[in-house]
Amino acid sequence: MELSVVIPTLNGRDHLGATLDGVATHAPDAEVVVVNGPSADGTTGMVRERGDVDVLVEVSDRTLNVSRNAGIRAASGDAVAFLRHDLVVEETWRDAIETGLERDPVVTGPVHETLPAGMTTTSPETRRIRNRAVTYFNGGNVAFRAEVLDDLDGFDEYLETGGARDAAHRLAGLGHDVGWEPELCVRTEYEADGGIDTRSHGWKYRALTYRLIKNYGLRPTIVRRIASHAGRDAISAARDVLGGEATPSGWVGTGRDVVGGVATGWSDGLVARARDRTPTRNPHGCSKRADRAVAKYDWR
């Protein structure tokens, strides 16, 4: 198996070096593709000085899915792994990819993160939606057979967040299983902040509604699912107001963002569903543009 490792990064120079060191140590035969967003921290110079990066792609977009798709275009392996720029692979990672992809077309594994209260580890997550068993994966620790990425046409570049979850829905629609490999382990080399979500509620619900409407259409179960998410967040926010941790005006503003996000995602999801009626469901994929890279350094 010829493995390509795609590492999207944006202003991640301080952590990227450790990530590259880990790949060089535990997957020395892998082709390494770094996709650098418009970083302003010297990432380009650091990568160009290393001898263990095969391709550096510079992109002008800050969207993660654009970087992922640029990496897919640059990768030449028959298997492609995506690795977050602040995660370090463990010794078993490379062999686990090969073992997992012999069994399943897509494989993911645990992410160990150090928090102030201790270590957390991700676990498998599967949901049944409209008679589909959707297995979610961590977009920072996943490997695909190259032909599966072709079937998906990469990631949906409309989405600023939730691209991996959208891909999981589309994989299920295409009949591709996502396997869990416990030895496909990555870890943080520093203490994380607890996973605080800095996304706006507007984009969170825009992305959620868009991917559900795009993949499943206007169905009562989908509307209920969106309403359930919004209801849980509304109750949680109300508790914060009652507990003095938030203001009523902030609660109203959050509600306005949620309604606006749902409305935009609803409209754009319907348009996307109409634009791509195939099981791929990706009107903003790899094949739709060729101008992602503003510069490319290829040392292969």
SS3 102: helix
SS3 6: strand
DSSP tally for the chain: helices H, then strands E:
9, 14
Domain ranges within the chain, ordered by starting residue: 3-196+283-298, 201-275
E strand map for 29-110: 31-36, 55-59, 79-83, 88-89, 106-108
* Integer Cα distance of 134 and 125 in angstroms: 8
* Integer Cα distance of 172 and 279 in angstroms: 10
What is the percentage of the chain residues whose pLDDT exceeds 90? 72
pLDDT tens per residue across span 74-129: 999 999 999 999 999 999 999 999 999 999 999 999 998 876 666 788 888 999 99
pLDDT tens per residue across span 188-205: 866 544 333 445 778 889
Residue 47 one-letter amino acid: V
54-87 burial: b if 16+ Cβ within 10 Å, else e: bbbbbbebebbbbbbbbbbbbbebebbbbbbbbb
pLDDT tens per residue across span 235-281: 776 676 667 766 777 666 777 888 898 999 999 999 999 999 999 99
Domain 3-196+283-298, CATH among 3.60.10.10, 3.90.550.10, 3.40.190.10, 1.20.210.10: 3.90.550.10
pLDDT tens per residue across span 25-69: 999 999 999 999 999 999 999 999 999 999 999 999 989 999 999
SS3 293: strand
